[in-house]
Amino acid sequence: MSTYRFGKHPSKCDYRTLRFKNYLMPELAAPPASDSVLKRVYGNLKVSEPKALFPMDGNDQWGDCTIAALAHAETAFGGLVDRKKIMAEKAVEKLYFRLSGGVDSGLNELDVLNYWRQHAVSGDKIITYTSIDPKSRDHIKQAIHLFGGVYLGFQVQQNCLEEFQARKPWVPGRLTKHGHAVYAVEYDHEGVTVLTWGDIQRATWAWWDECVDEAYAIIPPEAKEKGFAPGFDFKQLEADLAEVAD
């Protein structure tokens, strides 16, 4: 029987974190009613097997979900510009233990994102990241639509593993003391689809409202190649990032 590990630490606040909502200008079009980054990636890479693009990455042995979700985001970013980029499992594990100090302790999402902004991972540094209010569904949808997904963390509900193994959507349940990091790549009126444990997992919006405690839009270098959507204030984002850096 397969094993599955968690490993996200409780959410961490930093007053310097840029906020996604501050860069949405009035002329930015509303997000579509549904969108699938996954379908775009599958179409570009001519691969439709999630395990081939988004493998387990050691998350059945280690609490490295925060780095596995990073690796899945990197693959999604590359796939949107017709590049197949899959981090090797050993590279995922090596980065995890580098950031954890060599112990299987789990990690904080904000620490992972700050590292990725400052250091190249799989050949690329991200431009930056912005926090999203998890309660703002429109902003979550907008981030998935514009930037290829949302890096999120949630408090694990009691039946999380059973629902995953039974291929049933995640629904609200009694919260445990565990945290997990995943990468969201689809949404519709019923909920979202996330990447985790070498597969895809559906989750309802009710689950999202109950369990998700942090969410981030990652701005990858590929975003410049795709072209930012009119109405996303990238110039202001760069100016604010420079001010924070100073």
* For residues 197-216, average pLDDT: 98
* pLDDT surpassing 50 at residue 221: yes
Does pLDDT of 246 surpass 70? no
- The residue ranking higher by pLDDT, 244 or 176, is 176
Average predicted confidence (pLDDT) for the chain:
95
The C-alpha atoms of residue 167 and residue 111 are separated, in whole angstroms, by 31
Please tell me the distance from the alpha carbon of residue 148 to that of residue 186, in angstroms, as a whole number.
9
Q: Of 5, 90, 87, 75, whose CA–CA distance to 40 is shortest? A: 75
Q: What is the mean pLDDT of residues 184-213?
A: 98
CATH dotted code for 33-238? 3.90.70.10
Q: What is the pLDDT of residues 78-119, one digit of tens each?
A: 999 999 999 999 999 999 999 999 999 999 999 999 999 999
Indicate the pTM of the whole model: 0.96
pLDDT band at 2 (very low <50, low <70, confident <90, very high): low
Q: Residue 1's pLDDT band (boundaries 50, 70, 90)?
A: very low
Q: What share of the chain is helix, strand, coil (3-state, %, to 5)?
A: 40, 25, 40
Q: What pLDDT is stored for residue 141 in this prediction?
A: 98
Is the pLDDT assigned to residue 166 strictly greater than 90?
A: yes
Residues above pLDDT 90, as percent of the chain: 88
- Domains of the chain, by residue range, sit at 33-238
